[in-house]
Amino acid sequence: MNLFKHLACAFAFSFGGMQMHLFAQSPNNVIDEVIWVVGDEAILRSDVESARMEFGANISGNPYCVIPEQLAIQKLFLHQAQLDSIEVESSEITANMDARINELVMRAGSKEKLEEYYHRTMTEIREMMFESLKEQFTVQRVRESLTADVKVTPAEVRRYFKDVPQDSLPWIPDQVEVQIITQQPRIPQEEIERVKEELRDYTERINSGESSFSTLAILYSEDPGTARYGGEMPAYGRAELDPAFANVAFSLTDPTKISKVVESEYGFHIIQLIDKLGDKVKVRHILRKPKLAQADIDSTMARLDSIAEDLRKEKYTIEEAAPYLSDDKDSRNNRGIMTNVKYDPSVGDQIRTSRFQLQELPAEVAKVVAGMNTGEVSAPFMMVNSKGKEVCAIVKLKTHLKAHRASMSEDFQVLKDVVMQKLQEQKINEWIKEKQKSTYVRINEEWSNCEFEYPGWIK
Separation of alpha carbons 3 and 453, rounded Å = 10
- From first to last of its 459 residues, the chain has per-residue pLDDT tens of 343 333 343 333 333 333 333 333 333 444 689 999 999 899 999 888 878 876 666 678 889 999 999 999 999 999 999 899 998 887 778 777 877 787 777 777 777 888 888 788 888 888 888 888 888 889 989 999 999 899 999 999 998 888 888 888 888 899 999 999 999 999 999 999 999 999 999 999 999 999 999 999 999 999 988 888 899 998 888 888 999 999 999 999 999 999 999 999 999 999 999 999 888 899 999 999 999 999 999 999 999 999 999 999 999 999 999 999 999 988 999 999 999 987 665 555 567 889 999 999 999 999 999 999 999 999 999 998 888 889 999 999 999 989 999 888 888 888 988 899 899 999 999 999 999 999 999 999 999 999 999 999 987
Separation of alpha carbons 84 and 148, rounded Å = 14
User: pLDDT tens digits for 260-292?
Assistant: 999 999 999 999 999 998 888 999 999 999 999
User: pLDDT tens digits for 292-341?
Assistant: 999 999 999 999 999 999 999 999 999 999 999 999 988 999 999 999 98
Q: Considering Cα of 57, then 59, then 62, then 67, what sign does the dihedral take?
A: negative
CB distance 413 to 422 below 8 Å: no
CB distance 433 to 456 below 8 Å: yes
For the beta carbon of residue 27, count every other beta carbon within 10 angstroms: 4
Separation of alpha carbons 307 and 293, rounded Å = 22
Q: What residue ranges define each of the domains in the chain, with the CATH number in brackets? A: 3-151+420-457 (1.10.4030), 172-186+292-405 (3.10.50.40), 189-288 (3.10.50.40)
B/e letters for 115-144, b = 16+ CB within 10 Å, e = fewer, are: bebbebeeeebeebbbebbbbbbbbbbbbe
For 2-34, give the DSSP string: -HHHHHHHHHHHHHHHHHHHHHHTSTTPPPP-E
Q: Considering Cα of 70, then 76, then 79, then 84, what sign does the dihedral take?
A: negative
The CA–CA distances, whole Å, from 50 to 12, 47, 54, 64 equal: 10, 5, 6, 11
Separation of alpha carbons 7 and 428, rounded Å = 11
Separation of alpha carbons 337 and 330, rounded Å = 9
For 166-198, give the DSSP string: GGGSPEEPPEEEEEEEEEPPP--HHHHHHHHHH
